[in-house]
Structure formats: C-alpha cells, structure tokens
Amino acid sequence: MTDTIKSLSALLAEGKVSSVELCQDSLERIQRLNPALNAFITVDADKTLRDAAAADARRAAGQAGPLTGVPIAHKDIFCAEGWLTTCGSKMLSNFVSPYDAHVIEQFKAAGMPCLGKTNMDEFAMGSSNETSFYGPVRNPWDTDRVPGGSSGGSAAAVAARLCPAATGTDTGGSIRQPAALTGITGLKPTYGVVSRYGMIAFASSLDQAGPMATTAEDCALLLNVMAGFDPRDSTSLEREKEDYARELTQPRNQPLAGLKIGLPREFFGAGLSGDTARAVEEAINQLKKLGAQTVAVGLPNSKLSVAAYYVLAPAEASSNLSRFDGVRYGYRTPEYRDLADMYEKTRAEGFGSEVKRRIMIGAYVLSHGYYDAYYLQAQKLRRLIAQDFVEAFQQCDVILGPTAPTTAFKLGEKTADPVEMYLSDIYTIAVNLAGLPGMSLPCGFDAQGLPIGLQLIGNYFAEARMLNAAHQYQLATDWHTRAPTL
C-alpha cells in the first residue's frame, strides 16, 4: 500500500474501496513483513476488522467524517481500551488498558480503525528502538540497521507501507528522528496542543504526541483529529480547534514567496555527515526556487540542549516511573519476603537497563545537595535555549536544518556508549525544551541508499505555516514517495 490518507479518504468517499478491504490489505502485509521488522507488538485482526465494519456502516448511514475508515497504528505508549498497552516494557507486559487515551478517543470518534500497537523503546527512552523489551525494530531500508527511536515501530510500519499512518510521541526527538531515519514525514506539535491524557508519561514537561505519515498534508489531516483541548491534562491548551490544512496551497508559481527561512549557524557545523549536509543544502535551494528567502540565525545555547535535557528528562522520569511498584497493575515479582522486597524485585526485574540508568540519574540530580547544582542549572539553561528561538523567530518564519546528524546506523553500533546514542538527538532536543513545533520530512538518500531527513521548526502554534512549507517542497520533489523494496 503506497496510498496517502488523503487519497484513501477520497477512494472511501467514492465507494471504490471499503474500510474492511483497506484493513485486510494492511493486516496481510503486516502478517507477511512484520516478522522481519518487529514493528508491531500487538496485532488483533478481529478487533481491527470490527472497527472497520463499524466505519463502513457509519459511512453507509451517511455519517462519515473525512477520515472515517482509514486505518492507523498506534504507538504502544497510548492506553487503548481492551488492548495490551506495554510501553515497550516488561513492567507493563500484562497490562490491558481499561480506558482510552485522549488521542485514541479522538481517532475512534473520527472512525479510524486501529491496526495494532507499535513497538517502541522502553518507556520511550532511546534513539534506536533497541531498548524495547520486545526486541529491536529493524529499518525497512536495511534490516541490519535501526529505524531510530523511540517511535521506531510506528516509523518502520509507515515506511514499509504496513499502514498509511501511525501515532508517535516526541520528548526529545522521538517522532522526528525515526521519521528521518526511515524516510517518512513526522510532526511534533507545539507543547500543549495534543492532550497527554492516557499517554504513558516519560518527561511530562517535554512529552508531546504527533502524527507520522508519508506526507505533510497527511500529517495536517491527522493533527486535525489529534489536537484539541482536554481538561484531563492540566497542560492542555484551551484554544479554538483549528484546521491545520488551511494554509496548504495548490501548486502555483512561487508558492513560498514571502516565507523567511532561518538557517541556524550551529546546525551546519562539524558533526554533520557529508551526505546529510549536501541533501539539506539541495533542499534549501529547492525551497528558494519556490520563492522562500533564507536568513542566517543564531541558536548559541543549542549546544547545551543535550546536557540540559539529560538532567531534566531523567529527573521527570524518575518521578513518573515511581508509580510502577507492582501494587496496582503491571508486572509483580512472583516471590518476595515483604513489601520492600516486593518493590525492589519488581522494579529490578521489570525495568531494563536504560530505564534504570535514567531513574538513577534523575534521583541523583533531584537529591539534596545536587538539586541546585544540576536540576536548577538545567532549568536555567532551558530558559536560555528557549529565548534563542524567540530571538531567531524575530527574523524568520520557520527554521530549517538537518533532523539527525547521520542516517540509520547499524544495530548494536551505539548501544555500548549511551552518550553517543544521546547525541543522535542533537538537532531535535532544543525544540522540546522550548516547547516549539517541529517536523521531519525526507530530502534525499545517502551513498548507501538510506533516507535523509530535513527538519523544519515553527514558531509557537505556527504548525499550519510550517506544514505548507513542507507541502510545497513535497509537491516539487518525490523523496517522500520512495518506499523500500520488501
């Protein structure tokens, strides 16, 4: 299946295909290709086909919305009623959610059948999808390589055309980095645009859900479904519903005339691989042909973003993950002497090593005597990093750079050195610290035929504008249409 959501929606509306047929196609492809990719943790054909039949019935009754019947896969971080919801962890390996996350509710209300739950790094901690309790996800462009993380299952599933779209979450780059490494389009919205209710928490001040699909236009349509105020998330923003596709203009001469693109000096220095730098340069030229102008901007504090993030995110994680204690739900060690022994063994056995590393770092930076030296300092850096963007956006409408410093790396290549792994997110993390929207879209291939991602960063709530820049680029190029042969 190589169709976009937009085209599937038209086929459904014209009655040329049914939702049941679309879901059957996807399920067959998943059955055939998932064993090699490990993109899905849970598939339940009966449930999916039930959703599909309901969508077809709704259409027959004249009550279909634009995306009714289009199937979607969900990252296993979203609680979905009646579905095993593991977050990639042994800790939740027996957890069948009794309720729906806000994001799941929204897709259900839109009538989009759930194709299954996708694999991910354990508790969304990782950049390669190798920390999952369910084993690594493989990149469909080269199965010896990682798809990126933590939304690597969703990315691999869309890239391999197992599903037309999937949900992801992005705390430090987990939608954009795997989108880049698998050659798809992924969007992290402004913090607070999509409710975190029912989305298993990693670092609450950074976590944000977003769409992953093949085109920017599809991401806009999906964000229309996902976004919206939800009183159950205290950081959900009370704003009018907006149409994220409203600025997507038809092909015309110089469609991006008047758009100012900021190029941060810090994003084009050493550390960027040659092929990536070249592809990003070519993308800039293409955008200029479409009428955009470029301006150099500075993000002088962005070099501190990885360091600040790896204090703040673990601090929040250590607090969020304290709830997994074996008492109310999830994994519990089979044998224990007393309550303290039960807690200890449950957490020792239930969490993987990356999660334990984060909990220990988090507890350390929050402890008496270290709080001021680490946590408070990192909070101050966060403010400076965000302020850089405020200043940059006085000179431009969107910021452009690479999404990731390299293309997909080999499985096992970075697992021995956590810091090297953390540096995979060097270009994405500052966006989360600032709470800004960002996206990745395909802009070429390296010498080995691996996809390269282009990152666009928008100002607060400027998703629609950023999406149109990406859409115009995709109307003029065909990188996003290329799929791996499987």
Just list the catalytic residues: 75, 150, 174
CB 173 → ligand GLN: shortest distance, Å?
Answer: 5
Q: Which stretch binds ligand GLN (CB under 6 A): 48-56, 152-160, 167-175, 291-299?
A: 167-175
> In this chain, which stretch among 68-76, 124-132, 252-260, 366-374 interacts with ligand GLN, using CB under 6 A?
124-132
Work out whether 315 is an interface residue with ligand GLN (CB under 6 A).
no
- Rounded distance, CA 422 to CA 433, Å? 15
Q: State how far the Cα of 38 lies from the Cα of 406, in Å rounded to an integer.
A: 23
Contact range with ligand GLN by CB under 6 A, out of 9-17, 19-27, 111-119, 169-177? 169-177
Segment lying near ligand GLN (by CB under 6 A), choices 60-68, 120-128, 287-295, 386-394: 120-128
Q: Does 306 bind ligand GLN (CB under 6 A)?
A: no
Binds ligand GLN (CB under 6 A): choice among 9, 150, 167, 406: 150
Smallest distance, ligand GLN to C-beta of residue 175, A: 7
* 3-state DSSP percent of the chain in helix, strand and coil, to 5: 40, 15, 45
Q: Which of residues 386-445 bind ligand GLN (CB under 6 A)?
A: 425
3-state secondary structure (DSSP) of residue 294: strand
* Minimum distance of ligand GLN from residue 344's CB (angstroms): 25
DSSP secondary structure code for residue 323 in this structure = G
DSSP 222: H
- The contacts found for 135-140 with CB under 8 angstroms, 24 or more apart, are 135/38, 136/38, 136/411, 137/37, 137/38, 137/39, 138/36, 138/37, 138/38, 138/411, 139/181, 139/182, 139/408, 139/450, 140/33, 140/37, 140/182, 140/484, 140/486
Query: In terms of Cα–Cα distance, which of 358, 352, 431 is closest to 398?
Result: 431
Taking the CA atoms of 22, 23, 26 and 32 in sequence, report the sign of the dihedral they define.
Answer: negative
Applying CB under 6 A, which of residues 71, 113, 116, 126 lies at the interface with ligand GLN? Answer: 126
Of 171, 215, 224, 276, which lies in the binding site for ligand GLN, with binding defined by CB under 6 A?
171
Subset of residues 238 to 267 that bind ligand GLN, contact rule: CB under 6 A: none
Q: Which two tokens stand for residue 61?
A: 């009754």
DSSP element (H, E) containing 306: helix 305-320
In angstroms, give the least distance from the CB of 330 to ligand GLN: 20
CB closer to ligand GLN out of 125 and 441: 125
Q: Is 170 in the site for ligand GLN (CB under 6 A)?
A: yes
| Residue 242 C-beta: closest distance to ligand GLN, Å | 25
The per-residue DSSP string of 49-100 comes to HHHHHHHHHHHHTT---TTTT--EEEETTB--TTSB--TTSGGGTT-B-SS-
Q: How far is the CB of 77 from ligand GLN (least distance, A)?
A: 9
Which residues are at the interface with ligand GLN (CB under 6 A)? 124-127, 150, 170-174, 202, 313, 425
